Structures are given as structure tokens and as C-alpha cells.
Structure 1
Amino acid sequence: MYKKLKSVFFVALGCLALNTAEAQTINNSKFGKGLQFVAADSSFSLKFGTRFQMLYQGAINNSTNQLDDRFLIRRARLKFEGFAYSPKLEYKIELGLSNSDIGNDNPAMANNADNIILDAVAKWNFSPGWELWVGQTKLPGNRERIVSSQKMQFVDRSLLNSRFNIDRDAGLQLHHTHTFGTAVVREIASVSMGEGRDITVNNAGGYDYTAKVEVMPFGEFAGDGAYVGSDLAREETPKLAIAAAYDFNDEASRARGQLGDFLSGHRDLHTVFLDAMFKYRGFSSMAEYANSTAKDGPVVLRTDEGAVEETFVTGNAFNLQAGYLFPSNWEIAGRYTTYNPEKATRLSAQEQYTLGVSKYIVGHSLKVQSDVTLQDQPGRENTYLFRLQMEVAL
């Protein structure tokens, strides 16, 4: 049934695209910018884009020297955005098509979460400097998560992000931007469901509340570069962004708040994020810190022998990365990440050292990236991870 519905959806989408192309005028379309349409009466606009990532990944364990590798479609996306009725009311829809996007190799086992809808959000600019967002999209958490998976400096995000990011959720967000001289200040507050994207059952716990403040003392980055990996704009003057965010997930029911397994018990989760981004003439660096705690302790269920069977992911992590983009659009970058789970969880601490090389052919729209990572876990043999990925975004 799922496959049939999916096929019907894409047939309908193709017909809509053909009809729209005949009825409207294509303008400002070029590689990496999608197809753009504006209604004859300027009552709406539509930009359609698509992208995918082809990934090779291999891992070697020090003790066995055995190579475990695979090819896969890491991400495959369809993106729709534009304005509706007025340029002050924008919208964005993003769909994920790969198994990694959906969240499970078997859609029937998706546990009422992690389906094809990634973003479905309307953004109303109701007053200068103010926007109200309604729908499902990324929460204002750590910088690395907000950076699009298309615009990352490495093949994928860090261990900090995989353990502590608050991801996407459905609800309301209020954004405010203002300036003090050359400095730009942004404040964001959100209220959301607290259980992640596309939940189809009743809320098992309470709501999620997030607040974030960001300061750019030297002004805006070129091309929204505060949320783009690498300094492709080659900033002519130093640019810095510093941010702090706090997230309270009331009676969370999933192991990582908006992500992870649904657990048999609930906990109040408190997460703090601190981050910074710096760019200047091809050099870029980013630092992040995350700390998550659970009221009444993270462990929900133990076996009769006392082993942890269900737990929330709590503890802290730190990530530091930097890179330099040469005039030839080759980039070399390094990353260090440390993850320290709370002892009660019995989860394994880990340090990762990553060296990456990228070639940007058409910015982040057409690029090839590769990296090698040393995974160091106390009490276990080290593992080396090799990745090579191609990104194509139309």
C-alpha cells in the first residue's frame, strides 16, 4: 500500500510540473537554483529543486582488519518553496525519499515517526524584523544541525550532532532580527510537539520549548554564510557568529528527545547548546558544545541483572572543525569531536579525529567530498571510517 501511494504521488507530481511549466514562465533558472515560476498575476511563486547524495562508506577495525563497506543513496530530496498570496508569506516543503531520509529500511516499522515529510512550514513576515513560522521544520538548536545537509564542510555531521541535536518538530517559531551599529542580533523562540517530525499519534508527553540568541558583531555573512559550511563566499572582512540555545522537552518519550526509540517511561530533558562560526578569506572554523540532562535520571528500564535496557541519551559533547578553501576550490578541513555520555546510561564515550578533502565544482550544488575518521572508544579497538560522497543538486 505504501509503495502504491508513493507511486501515485510522484505521477501526480510529474503531471503538475508539466502543467505548471506550460502555464507559467520560467525565469532565473540555472544549475543549483532549481526551476522557478511566478504566476501571471504575481499571486504566488514556486521554486522546485531536487538533489541526491551518492555515498561510499567503509570501516576497518584494528583487531580484525576486516573491511565492512557499502554504497548507498545517503539522501534524496525534493524541495518546493516560494511565496503564497504575498511576498511576506513564504513557504517551504521538503520531502525525503531515501531510506536514510525516511528513518527506517522498512517503512512499516517507522513507529509513527520519520516519514517522507521533512519540512512543511509557512513563514509570515508580519512586521519589519519579525517572522512567525508555522508548521514542521528544524528547531533553533545547534548550528551544525541547522546547516543544510547539502551545505556541509564534511561528508556528514559530527558525533555531537548525532547524539544531542533536537532536529525537526511541528509547532510555532517566532523570529526577530535587529541591529546595533554593525552588529546583528537574532532571537528565536519556539513551541513544538516534542516528539519529532510527522508524528501521527497523540502526544505521549508534554510540549517542547526552545529559545536561541545569536550575535554577529561584524555584521551579516555573505550569502547566509553563518549557516553554510566552508567559506565559499571568501569573506573580505572577518565575520563571526556566536549563539546560545536552550531546549526544554517536557515529559520526553524518545531516547534523544525528537529522535531515537520511544521508551516506556518519560523524562524532562534539558539541553544547552553553545556555538560559534568564523570566516575570513577562505578560512572557516566552527565550534560547538552541547550538554543534556534528564530530571530524575536518564535510565528508564533495567534488566533483572541491573543492566540498562532503556535510557535517554544524556551527557555532553564538544566539536571543533576548521578548513581552508584554496583558489582552485579544493578544500582541506579537520575536525575533532569528543562525546561523554552520563555514566548512568552505560553508553560508550568516544573521540573522533576527521580529515576531509573536498572539491567544489559548482559550490555546494555539485561537489565531491571525502574524509577519513579515527574512532577512539575506551576499552575497545579503534576503528577507521572512510567515506567518499558526490552531491548533485539541481
Structure 2
Amino acid sequence: MILLGTLTSYSQETNAPKFGKGLFNLVGQDSTWTMKIATRMQFLSIATWDEGADGGLANPEQNFLVRRARLKFDGFAYTPKLTYKLELGLSNRDISGASAFTSNAPRYILDAVVMWNFYENFELWVGQTKLPGNIERVISSGNLQQVDRSLLNSRFNIDRDAGIQLRHHFNLSDNFLVREKFAISQGEGRNITTGNLGGHQYTARLEFLPFGEFEGSGDYSGSDLKREAKPKLMLAVNYDTNQNAVKTRSNQGSYMTNDIGFYETNINTFFFDGMFKYNGFSFMWEYANRDADNPIARNSDGTETGDVVWVGDGLNLQSGYMLAKDWEISGRYTNINLDDITGRDAETQYTLGLSKYIVGHKLKVQTDLSYLSVDGGSDELMYRLQFDVHF
């Protein structure tokens, strides 16, 4: 309240937008800055069962949690060509991961980035934010088609990092849009205060939109809530290389330590993904592949430490159809095949989802049922129910 009071006292205009458009829109007295303040919450219930010895359900577990609770600030500073975004996570899952590399402090900051449109279609980003990785990761967790992201994302995504990004777009024809995104980052994930332990991370992504832009940036939003009047398609390829990486999943996962400090190897991740939408129907696909120069971590004498880079590939296919009164039914198929050296079994997950959009993604109820098949392991059934509200 003190923060809001201070901001209000120095602003010329304060107004409360309609639901889902932020709590406050602040405009500087001389109109040289703006700030939109918003918040969102997700309340999640999960129930899981393992496959019993007789083929039935066993070991039931149930959990309620605040999955996400966040504050968001965005606007421009000095000129509309210089924009910014600040997002803070307050739930336990948002701030978890305190370690010596984060000064043993909670990781409150999700995004802290400034974006400068310095020349025509060129934009420079500086700070901490999502890298231009797989489409499912870049889609906001508040705009997902199902309760949460897929197993492919949890195994292969390159998430957030601190660094710089250069973005550009151009048209091949009146409708054919091409977007280029490049990033150089620290390579160890978000909120790292002690580093850089290894090398740097380099990311490149090319996006092709042959039929033009989606309504309301729908290429980075789950479900066809806009019910596209004409077919819209985005195809994208992405390559990421993390030089002298020290974590098991590129800039994610656990640190790989050995007898002389940290084990380092080059880790490369490739994505091919895309989105198609038309008249309430949506289809999203992702293929991921990760390799490493030397995926098995070793000590200086050549003995194995027990740490292994998560190398392998994954496929995620997801589709949905908008019904009357903004109900949607959706389905997802995910297959994960990590290499034998990781010691992890192949996983296949099938998910059936149902969503009710009350005010689009800003106010919705989502539920899904998933069956996870694990080669050589115990299969699992999972039911989830989530309520999402964005002010």
C-alpha cells in the first residue's frame, strides 16, 4: 500500500481498468513514463494414484497449493520506444531454489528486463527474462491451454536467464512474416548472484508466419479464444548452445560437481515447434533434442561422479477445440526418451483437459486427467483442478 500510495502521489492520472487489464494504470505528470500494475493467482488441487500390483489404483496422494502468486509491472520509461517488464513470484514454488549461487536467498525475481526499439524493426532486450526457447515455455503460465506445461517442457526447456537479446522482424510478402530472435546469456538460470562458473549460452530462434500475425498474439497463447477467421500458422526452429555448462539440463537442473570443483561440458538443445489456429481449433507441436560433448560427469582421474547431462529427445502434441459459451476440450500426447546413460526410463503421457473461460485466460477454471506410462517403472494416474484469476 505504501508503494501504491507513493506512485499515486507522483502521478497525474490513476484509473482502474476493466477486469483483467491490471489493477492500476499510472501515467507520469509529464507523460514521460507509464506503469501498469497487475497481479495473478493460481489455486491448484492434485490427486495421484500409482498402478498397484493387481493392476488397480494404489498409493493415493492429494495436495492443495497456491501454484503461482505474482505481481507484474510494465510500461515505458522516457519514450514509448523504451519499455520494461518486472515480474515477481511470491509462491513457494516461484521462490524456491535458494543456494550459495543465489546468495542463499529466495528467488523472487522472474523478469526484470528493459526493451529498446532502437531502429525500425530492431529491438534490444537487456536483463533477466525468458530465453527465446520452445513455444510452450514462452507462453505465459497464465495463458496455458491445460492446467500446466508438458513433460517435454520440464525435461528440455531453457527457461529464464540474464543477458541480452536482439529481436527483429520483416515481411517476405504482404502476409508472410519472419521473426528473428538471438540471445547471449550467463548460462546458469535466473537469479544467479555468484558466477559465471562455466561459459556463456547462445540462443537463436527463427519464426515463420506464412499467413500473417495471429489475432491478439495468439501464437503465444493457448487455445483459439479469438476463433481465427482465417487459418494462422507459426513454424519455428530454435538452437541453443551452452558452452562449458555446469548443470545437468543446460542452464537448468543441478550443478555437476567433481573433485576439483565443477564438471564442464558443452550442451546443445534443438527445438522444432509451432502453432496452428483456425475457427476455434488449435494445434501445437514441439520436438526437442539435447546432446552434450561429454554427458557423463567425471573427476580429474576419469572416474564418474554420478552426474549425467539429460541428453535425449522428446515429442509433445497438443490440440483443442472451443465449444459454445467458451468451453474447451483439449488433448495432449507427450513422449520422452532420454538416453540410457541417464538411467531414466522412457515416459509417455496422455492428457485429456476441459476448460471454462469466464473472462478469457484472465478468469478460468481448468481440469485435466493424465495417464503416465513409464517403461520399466510404475504407471501413474493424475487428476488436477485449477482456478486462475488475473487482475
The TM-score with structure 1 as length reference comes to 0.92
Query: Map of 1:189-200 to 2, 5 A cutoff?
Result: 189-200=182-193
Residues 221 and 353 of structure 1, relative CA distance in 2, 3 Å threshold: same
- 170, 184, 202: which one pairs with 1:178? 170
Is the Cα–Cα contact under 8 Å of residues 226 and 277 in structure 1 kept in the other structure? yes
Paired with 2:3 and 2:121, the residues of 1 have a C-alpha distance of: 35
User: Which one-letter code corresponds to 1:346 in the other structure?
Assistant: G
Whether 1:137 and 2:120 are equivalent positions in the alignment is no
Paired with 1:51 and 1:84, the residues of 2 have a C-alpha distance of: 24
- 128, 133, 147: which one pairs with 2:139? 147
Is the Cα–Cα contact under 8 Å of residues 313 and 345 in structure 1 kept in the other structure? yes
Match of 1:15 in 2: 2
Is the Cα–Cα contact under 8 Å of residues 308 and 345 in structure 1 kept in the other structure? no
SS of residue paired to 1:344: helix
Paired with 1:178 and 1:189, the residues of 2 have a C-alpha distance of: 15
Paired with 1:31 and 1:37, the residues of 2 have a C-alpha distance of: 16
Paired with 2:102 and 2:342, the residues of 1 have a C-alpha distance of: 23
SS of residue paired to 2:256: strand
Tell me the matched-pair count. Answer: 375
Give how far 1:327 is off.
Answer: 2.4
Paired with 1:195 and 1:366, the residues of 2 have a C-alpha distance of: 34
Residues 294 and 112 of structure 1, relative CA distance in 2, 3 Å threshold: farther
Query: Map of 1:4-153 to 2, 5 A cutoff?
Result: 14-24=1-11, 25-27=13-15, 29-34=17-22, 35-63=24-52, 65-104=58-97, 107=98, 112=103, 115-153=107-145
- 350, 357, 362: which one pairs with 2:359? 362
Is the Cα–Cα contact under 8 Å of residues 301 and 311 in structure 1 kept in the other structure? no
- Percent of paired sites with the same residue: 49
Give how far 1:28 is off.
Answer: 6.7
Paired with 1:120 and 1:259, the residues of 2 have a C-alpha distance of: 19
Give how far 1:254 is off.
Answer: 1.1
- 141, 152, 163: which one pairs with 1:160? 152
Give how far 1:301 is off.
Answer: 4.8
**CA RMSD in angstroms, aligned pairs only:** 1.7
Match of 2:327 in 1: 330
CA offsets per residue over residues 121-145 of structure 1, 9 Å max, x none? 0000011111000000000010000
Query: Map of 1:291-306 to 2, 5 A cutoff?
Result: 291-296=289-294, 298-301=295-298
User: Which one-letter code corresponds to 2:4 in the other structure?
Assistant: A
Is the Cα–Cα contact under 8 Å of residues 226 and 241 in structure 1 kept in the other structure? yes
Residues 340 and 108 of structure 1, relative CA distance in 2, 3 Å threshold: closer
CA offsets per residue over residues 252-307 of structure 1, 9 Å max, x none? 111111211111111100110000100011100100000000102x12159xxx99
- 190, 202, 220: which one pairs with 1:227? 220
Is the Cα–Cα contact under 8 Å of residues 101 and 192 in structure 2 kept in the other structure? no
Query: Map of 1:149-298 to 2, 5 A cutoff?
Result: 149-181=141-173, 182-264=175-257, 265-296=263-294, 298=295
User: Which one-letter code corresponds to 2:148 in the other structure?
Assistant: D
Residues 100 and 109 of structure 1, relative CA distance in 2, 3 Å threshold: farther
Structure 1 window deviating more from structure 2 (360-369 vs 253-262): it is 253-262
Paired with 2:203 and 2:367, the residues of 1 have a C-alpha distance of: 34
Is the Cα–Cα contact under 8 Å of residues 103 and 110 in structure 1 kept in the other structure? no
Paired with 2:77 and 2:378, the residues of 1 have a C-alpha distance of: 55
User: Which one-letter code corresponds to 1:81 in the other structure?
Assistant: D
SS of residue paired to 1:203: coil
Give how far 1:381 is off.
Answer: 2.5
Is the Cα–Cα contact under 8 Å of residues 274 and 289 in structure 1 kept in the other structure? yes
Give how far 1:153 is off.
Answer: 0.3
Paired with 2:187 and 2:100, the residues of 1 have a C-alpha distance of: 21
User: Which one-letter code corresponds to 2:291 in the other structure?
Assistant: T
User: Which one-letter code corresponds to 1:47 in the other structure?
Assistant: K
Is the Cα–Cα contact under 8 Å of residues 205 and 266 in structure 1 kept in the other structure? yes
SS of residue paired to 2:249: coil
Residues 99 and 364 of structure 1, relative CA distance in 2, 3 Å threshold: same
Match of 1:5 in 2: none
Is the Cα–Cα contact under 8 Å of residues 369 and 390 in structure 1 kept in the other structure? yes
User: Which one-letter code corresponds to 2:7 in the other structure?
Assistant: T
Q: Structure 1: where are the runs of 5+ without partners?
A: 1-13
- 359, 384, 390: which one pairs with 2:387? 390
User: Which one-letter code corresponds to 1:277 in the other structure?
Assistant: M
Give how far 1:103 is off.
Answer: 2.6
SS of residue paired to 2:233: strand
SS of residue paired to 2:325: coil
Give how far 1:46 is off.
Answer: 0.1
Match of 2:260 in 1: none
SS of residue paired to 1:230: coil
Give how far 1:345 is off.
Answer: 1.2
Give how far 1:336 is off.
Answer: 0.1
Whether 1:339 and 2:331 are equivalent positions in the alignment is no
Paired with 2:269 and 2:323, the residues of 1 have a C-alpha distance of: 37
Give how far 1:308 is off.
Answer: 7.4
Give how far 1:99 is off.
Answer: 1.2
User: Which one-letter code corresponds to 1:223 in the other structure?
Assistant: G
